[in-house]
Amino acid sequence: MPYEGNCPCLSGEQYADCCGRFHRGDAEAPTAEQLMRSRYSAFVVRDEEYLLRTWHPTTRPAELGLDAGMQWRRLDILSTSRGGPLDSEGAVEFAAHYRHDGERGVQRETSRFVREGRRWYYLDGVVSG
């Protein structure tokens, strides 16, 4: 069943008009932060195909095997460095709040992104908590 309602990235927009358009392939994320937000939303809606498609080929795993018990609850963007429409690389530091097996947690990460042509890709990330 398609995801409906407000976008999980907390933009305040409807999913279909926000990250959903990237997931469907109707548009490309114009900035590293937009790609980060759309990838977070893909984790929420369990869109493994989008996650793999936006992962740089040099670091992309063969598969993800998303945990059905993981419930992503909230995304906080803590900082961004470069990653704009004219940049070729960027970084986004974020905190992703979740529940798993009844326990609450926060994944903090600084993700690195590269742009090739008109497309941004997730390269890698350093988890810090």
Task: For the chain, give the percent of residues with pLDDT over 90.
Answer: 92
pLDDT confidence of residue 129: 62
Higher-confidence residue of 36 and 118: namely 36
pLDDT tens digits for range 40-63? 999 999 999 999 999 999 999 999
How high is the pLDDT of residue 2? 67
- Specify the pLDDT at position 3: 83
Instruction: Single out the residue of 24, 43, 123 nearest to residue 82, CA to CA.
Output: 123
pLDDT reading at 21 higher than 60: yes
Name the average pLDDT for the chain. 95
Instruction: Tally Cβ neighbours within 10 Å of residue 73.
Output: 13
State pLDDT tens for residues 75-101: 999 999 999 999 999 999 999 999 999
Q: Which residue, 60, 16, 20, is CA-closest to 42?
A: 20
